[in-house]
Amino acid sequence: MQQKTVLGIETTCDETAAAIVSADADGVPEIRANEVLSQIAEHAAYGGVVPEIAARAHVEVLDRLIDRALGRAGIGLGDLDGIAVAAGPGLIGGVLVGLVTAKTLALVTRKPLLAVNHLEAHALTARLTDGVAFPYLLLLASGGHTQLIAVRGVGDYVRLGGTIDDAIGEAFDKAAKLLGLGYPGGPEVERMAEAGDPERFGLPRPMLGRREADFSLSGLKTALRIEAERIAPLSERDVADLCAGFQAAVVDVTVDRARVALRAFSAAAGRPTALVAAGGVAANGAIRRALAALAGEAGLGFVAPPLPLCGDNGAMIAWAGLERLRLGLVDDLTAPARPRWPLASEAAAVPAG
């Protein structure tokens, strides 16, 4: 196969992104442009993403961002081999902005449309950055999703576990808001935790030791609130210690849940080639270090994308589009916008014992 080049468009939440990614005849990728505009400033006053504000911001900047990506890559629309776009899951207003733009470009240029599952793009990022071979165990963790998945191939995913309430990123954001920290909360909690004592508060580890690879973080969040109210008003030291204790509890739970998923993996997909973390939470240094240690115990490599590719970006959408284009998995102009779009087509059976 000769070199293929795809434009990737991402508008599912509060980042507007456009990227150009090429792959040579051997499938070796090159990120030629990766433009991202964050909306953090627009949403900070609200302590979270406001869907209407996000959609309007995407409309205002997406065309300009696509032009910038094409210019940085030194190509025109006619040089593309496909138009990839995150068609969900996400905030429906933002998803529609990206999808309508991509359909228009595909129609005008007569290039294939590739309607990508945003979660699949995260799942395949390790192949873009590190060439990881199938099958591998994926922890997909962000503000809206926490799943442990056996990645067997493009479009072939088995859910080994997930959260029954809060996602990890959501829990970090809520903890930050409770403690009066800034938005987005995850990086703020991690920053404060560096100076804190993780053992001062006896916070719980929900689901620890359970044989299902599922998460539950609402109880941990409640325990954090109770401790904060008990010692209020909070000093900076109190906040640092609470952050350290909260993060340590999340790390312990994440490692335990991933260990359970590793045990369940063989029945779903054989032996994994690697343990992979993806999504915004994969940028957390404590979680990365703990998962790397777990992978080492299991005799596996650990892969997490470079920090700029952990959050939402267009390069991961373009790469997922390239993976699908190589397999002939293209879409027509009736491809729907999907606010919900599960990644895994099946769930693994819980092993006995």
Instruction: Kindly tell me if the per-residue pLDDT of 40 is higher than 70.
Output: no
Tokens linked to 218:
């609402």
Residue from 56, 120, 45 nearest 91 by CA? 56
Domains in the chain and their CATH numbers?
A: 4-126+311-344 (3.30.420.40), 133-308 (3.30.420.40)
Binning pLDDT at 50, 70 and 90, where does residue 38 land? confident
DSSP string, 207-260: TTT-SS--B--HHHHHHHHHHHHHHPSPPHHHHHHHHHHHHHHHHHHHHHHHHH
pLDDT in tens, 166-200: 999 999 999 999 999 988 899 999 999 999 999 99
Instruction: Kindly tell me if the per-residue pLDDT of 46 is higher than 70.
Output: no
Residue type, 346: E
Per-residue model confidence (pLDDT) at position 1: 58
Instruction: Kindly tell me if the per-residue pLDDT of 351 is higher than 60.
Output: no
Using the structure block, give the residue that is written with the tokens 């503000």: 143
**65 SS3 class:** helix
Torsional class of 192: left (φ above 0), alpha (ψ -120 to 50), beta (otherwise): alpha
Residue from 310, 282, 348 nearest 150 by CA? 348
Task: Report d(CA 347, CA 157) in Å as an integer.
Answer: 9
CB 109 within 8 A of CB 83: yes
Per-residue model confidence (pLDDT) at position 346: 61
Task: Report d(CA 351, CA 214) in Å as an integer.
Answer: 13
Residues of the chain by 3-state class (helix, strand, coil), percent to 5: 45, 20, 35
Per-residue model confidence (pLDDT) at position 352: 47
| Average pLDDT score over the chain | 94
pLDDT in tens, 288-315: 999 999 999 999 999 999 999 999 999 9
Q: Which residues share a beta bridge with 216?
A: none
How much of the chain exceeds pLDDT 70, in percent? 94
CB-CB neighbours of 74 under 10 Å:
10
Q: Say what the pTM is.
A: 0.94
Instruction: Kindly tell me if the per-residue pLDDT of 253 is higher than 90.
Output: yes
Residue with the larger pLDDT of the pair 237 and 39: 237
Instruction: Kindly tell me if the per-residue pLDDT of 242 is higher than 60.
Output: yes
pLDDT in tens, 47-97: 667 777 888 989 999 999 999 999 999 999 999 999 999 999 999 999 999
Per-residue model confidence (pLDDT) at position 353: 47
